[in-house]
Amino acid sequence: MKQAFVSMLELQDKMNSKVHPQWQQQGYAWYRAIWTECAELMDHHGWKWWKKQTPDSHQIKLEIVDIWHFGLSILLTSGKTAEELAEELASHWQSADTTQDFLVAVEQLAQHTLTSKGFSVPLFCQLMELCNFPLVELYQQYIGKNVLNFFRQDHGYKEGTYHKVWHGKEDNEHLAEILANLDGTQADLQTTVYTQLQVRYPL
C-alpha cells in the first residue's frame, strides 16, 4: 500500500511540474478543483428527482480519480516528502463511515474541502467504499489517467495540436480498453500504458 502511494505522489508531482516547474509556489486553488469535481460526480450519479437518472459507475470512478489527482496535489503542498505523505496516507486510509448515502458523502467531502481548503482522506475513502472502488483499482485508474495526461502534454495538448479523438474514439476510451487488458499491479504499468497509447495514436 505504501509503495503505491509513493508512486502516485511522485507521479502527481511530475505532472504538476510539467505544467509549471514551480507549481508549489503558484498558490493554485486545488480545493476549488475538488469541489467542482464533486458537482460533476453528483451529476454522474444522478440527483434530480424530476427526471429518470441511472448512476454511471464508470464515469463516477473517473471523477473520483480526478478528485484524487487534486487531493494528492494538496497533500504535496505541505512540503513533506512522498515517503512521509505515503506513511500518513497508509495510517489514515479508512472510511469516515458517517453515512451510507453516496450523495451525502460527496457533499461532506465538498463541504470539508470548501471549509478547510484541504483534503480529507477518510471522507475520500468513504466515497470509494460506497461505490465499491478498491485501492488497487484506484491505483490502476490513477496511473492510467496520469500517463494519458503526460501523453497529451507530449503530443501538443498545451499548444492545441493534440487530437483527442482517434479512429472514432476519445483518448479516454482507448485508455479504458488498454487498462482492461493489463494487470494493475505490474511493475512496468506506466511504461506499458504509454507505449500502447503511442501505438494507437495517429501520427
Domain of 68: which CATH number? 1.10.4010.10
| pLDDT at residue 173, as a whole number | 87
- Residue 174 and residue 128: Cα distance in Å, rounded? 24
Q: Give the H/E segment covering residue 166.
A: strand 165-166
pLDDT digits (tens, 9 = 90+) for 163-185: 899 989 889 889 888 988 887 77
* Same domain membership, residue 96 and residue 62: yes
* Same domain membership, residue 52 and residue 139: no
Candidates 3, 34, 9; CA nearest to 24 is: 9
* Same domain membership, residue 118 and residue 153: no
Report the 10 Å Cβ neighbour count for 51: 6
Collect all residues with Cβ–Cβ distance below 8 Å to 39 and sequence separation of at least 6: 110
Burial (CB < 10 A; 0-12, 13-18, 19+), residue 113, is buried
* Same domain membership, residue 72 and residue 28: yes
| pLDDT at residue 182, as a whole number | 84
| pLDDT at residue 23, as a whole number | 95
* Same domain membership, residue 125 and residue 142: no
Decide which of 79, 101, 133 is a domain's last residue: 133
* Same domain membership, residue 43 and residue 103: yes
- Residue 193 and residue 36: Cα distance in Å, rounded? 28
**pTM of this structure:** 0.87
Decide which of 108, 133, 158 is a domain's last residue: 133
Specify the number of domains making up the chain. Answer: 2
| pLDDT at residue 124, as a whole number | 98
* Same domain membership, residue 85 and residue 33: yes
Q: Are 171 and 161 in contact (CB under 8 A)?
A: no
Q: Are 86 and 58 in contact (CB under 8 A)?
A: no
| pLDDT at residue 123, as a whole number | 97
pLDDT digits (tens, 9 = 90+) for 62-107: 899 999 999 999 999 999 999 999 999 999 999 999 999 999 999 9
| pLDDT at residue 116, as a whole number | 97
Q: What domain range includes position 87?
A: 1-133
* Same domain membership, residue 55 and residue 29: yes
* Same domain membership, residue 109 and residue 9: yes
| pLDDT at residue 193, as a whole number | 93
pLDDT digits (tens, 9 = 90+) for 29-53: 999 999 999 999 999 999 999 999 9
* Same domain membership, residue 91 and residue 144: no
pLDDT digits (tens, 9 = 90+) for 122-166: 999 999 999 999 999 999 899 998 899 889 989 988 899 998 999
| pLDDT at residue 103, as a whole number | 97
Is the predicted pLDDT of residue 19 greater than 90, yes or no? no
* Same domain membership, residue 113 and residue 200: no
* Same domain membership, residue 84 and residue 65: yes
